[in-house]
Amino acid sequence: MIKIECSERLKKLPPYLFVEIDRAKKKARDEGRDIIDLGIGDPDMPTPRFIIEAMKKALADPRNHRYPLDAGLPEFRQAISKWFKKRFEVDLDPASEILPLIGSKEGIAHMPLAVMNPGDISLVPDPCYPPYKSGTWFAGGEVALMPLVENNHFLPDLKAISHNILHKARIMYINYPNNPTGAVCDKRFLEHVVEFALKHNIVVLCDAAYSEMCYDGYKAPSIMEVKGGRDVAIEFHSLSKTFNMTGWRIGFACGNKHLVESLAKVKSNVDSGVFFAIQWAGVAAFENYDKHIRTTIKIYQERRDLLVDGLNKMGWNVVKPKATFYVWCKVPPRYTSATFAKALLEKCDIVVTPGNGFGASGEGYVRMALTVDKRRIREAVDRIGKRLG
């Protein structure tokens, strides 16, 4: 038996947050406990029937059984372009400014390989979705954190980034609507980001996975709407949350054609594209967006109101998020993020995600996902009130 040792880049990675949560959840369920899972953001609602029917039809066609084209199905890229025009009033060239992904996660993690050299810095929000950091490290880059704090509405303070860091910065991740905080931004903030990127020659990676999960009249903007956005940015979208398709693994990148081309070159060397039948399902998703999205938003908004109002009646001070299906809650003074998450699991049989798992600036918070029905949310609120006091 040879001695097998992980690479230094793997050793650098912390344990993946959601794997650790899954282990704790599985252990509790193996003990026969009735667990309410507000941890991982995996929609509990089924994929819409019209998407499933489109998939069935595509599966029966032998032409869809071969290797997908690197650039993706032309009809899927055209459907994205039409949807983007209707949603954001932006024209995207299906041939050069859109690239299908095996879920937005893989595109986000692969993009640093396309534009970073060893020693380059990526500007990463803290707290953040973990692949921002791991993708940077896999590309040989270094991470410089941009703290997201409540006093600044969970927006990064671009003026606080030192000149020494900016000198080596190559990319910047932004994510609005934001995971895990649920924070939102307006077009003015995106204008500042574009100006900043142009001034310092930085590529902007916009994670827009939650762009359609918006409430109370808020509509998330795209950086592609902003003058100069196409010059500096590539934006990542996902069908996972919008259409309840997390397991299907389909999303897309769009924007600057040179960035799209660079990502496509990376992907052509590491994967063989998205299964054609899933792309046809994606066509059906975008063509039926309007009749689907209103119902989904209504359900999540009702769940949000039920959870936040219930917690606030107990004396919590939770802000209702205008987007995402996450609630970002401050923990009581006597707890840390980890000890409060542990108390909720041990005393209430409720799984939440400790905020510090997303980065040091997440300490003092837990994230609750609205991915259980209203009956279970009522039960969760009731348990917290009775068992934690």
> What domains can be seen in the chain, in order of their start residue?
8-46+291-387 (3.90.1150.10), 49-289 (3.40.640.10)
Which residue's structure tokens are 């590491």? 270
Contacting residues for 147 by C-beta, under 8 A, at least 6 apart: 126, 156, 157, 361
The conformation of residue 83, written as its DSSP 8-state character, comes to H
pLDDT in tens, 205-263: 999 999 999 999 999 999 999 999 999 999 999 999 999 999 999 999 999 999 999 99
pLDDT of residue 25: 78
List the one residue out of 279, 314, 306, 295 whose CA is nearest residue 368. Answer: 306
pLDDT at 332 over 90: yes
pLDDT band per the 50, 70, 90 thresholds, residue 355: very high
pLDDT in tens, 164-204: 999 999 999 999 999 999 999 999 999 999 999 999 999 99
Which residue's structure tokens are 């009033």? 89
pLDDT of residue 48: 98
